[in-house]
Amino acid sequence: MSEAVLTRTLAKAVAAEALAPSNDAPLALSVERLAAVAGDALVGLVFFGSRRTGAARVDSWSAYDVFAVVSRYGPFYDAMRRAGLLTRPAWLLALASRVLAPTQISLRFGPGSAHLKASVIEERTLVRETGRFRHDHFCSGRLFQPALVLYARDAAARETLVGCLVSALRETWGWARPWLPAAFDAEGYGRSALATSMHWEVRPEPSGRAEQLWQAQRELQVPVLEALLAELAAKGELVPAGSPATWSPARETGALERMRRSAYFRLSMLRATARWLKHMLSFEGWLDYIVQKASRHSGQTIELSERERRYPLLFLWGRAARHIIRARKGERKKG
């Protein structure tokens, strides 16, 4: 089978997954209302994360993660503000969105709808951030996993969004390669890539979370990864490893490449930490949301002191750091 045919095969596999219908009524209602409010400013909505794959611990605080892909920030935030969905000044959010994209906002549409945690990003920026010239791992690290295109403004927008998902998947070969096992099939590749991606993120989640997420997305992800590995083999990047559908890299990973990839992830972690500061401005109700999320993942009720609630930027960092360190220690022990 030619490389061109395999390239189309991968795109078809991603499209089949990404363009499948959603049977979530509250989510569909929120998508309908958001599209009506935003108008042409909204290019598309891409649903990703643990609620997409069914791995979420769902409660009243559990939000749906979406990328809100927009043509320009200003008109989109203006529309949200006029509809009463945001209270922050539109100009301020638009300005903040030009630094360390994307920018997360909280969107609630009333009874019967879903709470959206929307990562707002311009279309051209999403194309860059899922490709070779991305600035960090945020977009690529989420969209190589199963995602669903909930809304596209037109056929061209739909093609662009699916193309971003395909690009994010292809880019896994570059950043995951230094930590892959010596031989792997599609499942081994997916499990390793997900573990690598999560290891290099600052996440307030317990040990074993990567494996839980993989088990939840395995059925969706394996057929797509099989198409990716076949494409890589056609390009000469992989060679058969003996067993059927099992591969090995055609060349060893050098020390310099490993150092470059480690530097990429460390820079991404720095940018992610800085992005938190921005989201404290953009994400209304961020403190309660973070506390409830940490409580849900840790299985422990977290109560803030009056001082921590009143001055979180001064007094909450110590507790947050301890929580993340405990989670990472648990991950290392389990590994």
d(CA 330, CA 335) in angstroms, rounded, equals: 8
User: What is the pLDDT, as a whole number, of residue 242?
Assistant: 85
User: What is the pLDDT, as a whole number, of residue 243?
Assistant: 87
Q: Tokens at residue 270, please?
A: 């720095």
Task: Give ∠ CA 75-67-34 in degrees, rounded to 5.
Answer: 55
**Number of other residues whose CB lies within 10 A of the CB of residue 222:** 15
pLDDT by 10-residue block (mean), the chain, 335 residues: 68 96 94 98 97 74 90 98 96 96 96 96 98 97 98 98 98 97 97 95 72 95 97 96 93 95 96 90 71 55 62 56 53 47
User: What is the pLDDT, as a whole number, of residue 207?
Assistant: 62
User: What is the pLDDT, as a whole number, of residue 334?
Assistant: 46
Amino acid identity of residue 331, one-letter, is E
DSSP label at residue 59: S
Q: Concatenated DSSP letters for 296-315? A: HHHTS-----HHHHHSHHHH
CATH superfamily of the 3-261 domain = Beta Polymerase, domain 2 (3.30.460.10)
User: What is the pLDDT, as a whole number, of residue 296?
Assistant: 54
Give buried/exposed letters for 46-78 (b at 16+ CB in 10 A, else e).
Answer: bbbbbbbbeebeeeebbbbbbbbbbbebbbbbb
Q: In sequence order, which residues have a C-beta less than 8 Å from that of residue 307 and are 6 or more positions away?
A: 315
The ranges assigned to domains in the chain are 3-261
User: What is the pLDDT, as a whole number, of residue 8?
Assistant: 86
